[in-house]
Structure 1
């Protein structure tokens, strides 16, 4: 293969890789409206223009319980900069979630996905699952599960998205 043909082939491959990265990072977040713990309905569309962290959780999930106070800290620290944390409880019966939240109060909105419709839209397969959505409404990062230390990566992603 000649050098010029090799360079053209390499350039084409590079363009394809860049193209797939751009499309992967600009997946439009599926829209939804869910009832909130406060009694109103909250739509993802109403949060456009903010960096949104959707956290799918359940009261029976140990890692969810561990990370919830950390999520509250992130929400308090960055909400004035255009960030919002949204908890999406996935339990059909919300009574357990309500009881747990009485002992571990949070200031961010908690929504109830009783029929798992939104969980299916976001292909949630692990508890907790966390989705970061940029100001334009695009899914940028997805985390499945939680282990201590993941909050450092969350903070890096929040800061990066807020800078955009």
Structure 2
């Protein structure tokens, strides 16, 4: 109990700004390659993790909106986006065709059992994380409204200053 109180005190002193690392979960990408989530990186630059599903309309609107500005984001900040599909096993075969049809050049991981999502405590999608160049989760956002991608790139710009 003392440890819990001590940790809570430290977190309060940090103003809730405790930096979390990515949990270690083994997933596959859309080409079948195994990926450990705690090794995700972008060569010392920030990256965005966007949880989505093929059936989630706000998720798809968000990824489409980002797709339109993604080359500019990459050129300006070097950021990369990793899209994580939470489609269940029976729908997993819909992910790659949708990604190809949309022309998304994101790295796409498959989380059909929700292991990565659960390890991060994510309840609802779309859900976006920004991870800094050191692997710390520095921003979290749930839901999507048109234009919300502008807040994402602003947070990334703050990290690369």
Q: Shorter-chain TM-score: what band?
A: 0.7 to 0.9
**Unmatched tracts of structure 1, length 5 or more:** 1-15
Q: Tell me what 1:34 maps to.
A: 27
Q: Does 1:87 align with 2:80?
A: no
Structure number with greater Rg is 1
Q: Tell me what 2:13 maps to.
A: 19
Stretch deviating more after TM superposition (115-124 or 72-81): 72-81
Residues 107 and 153 of structure 1: CA distance in aligned 2, closer, same or farther (over 3 Å): same
Q: Tell me what 1:105 maps to.
A: 103
Q: CA deviation at 1:126?
A: 1.3
Q: Tell me what 1:143 maps to.
A: 141
Contact map agreement 2:73 2:153 (CA 8 A) in 1: no
Between Structure 1 and Structure 2, the one with more helix by share is 1
Between the aligned partners of 2:18 and 2:146, the Cα distance in structure 1 is 26
Give the TM-score normalised by the residue count of structure 1: 0.79
Question: Cα RMSD over matched residues?
Answer: 2.3
Q: How many residues align?
A: 148
**Unmatched tracts of structure 2, length 5 or more:** 1-9
Q: Tell me what 1:69 maps to.
A: 64
Please give the residue correspondences for 1:3-18 in structure 2 after superposition, counting only pairs within 5 Å: none
Q: What does the per-residue CA deviation read over 1:110-144, in whole Å, with 9 as the maximum and x for residues that have no partner?
A: 00001100000111111110011111111111111
Q: Secondary structure at the match of 1:132?
A: strand
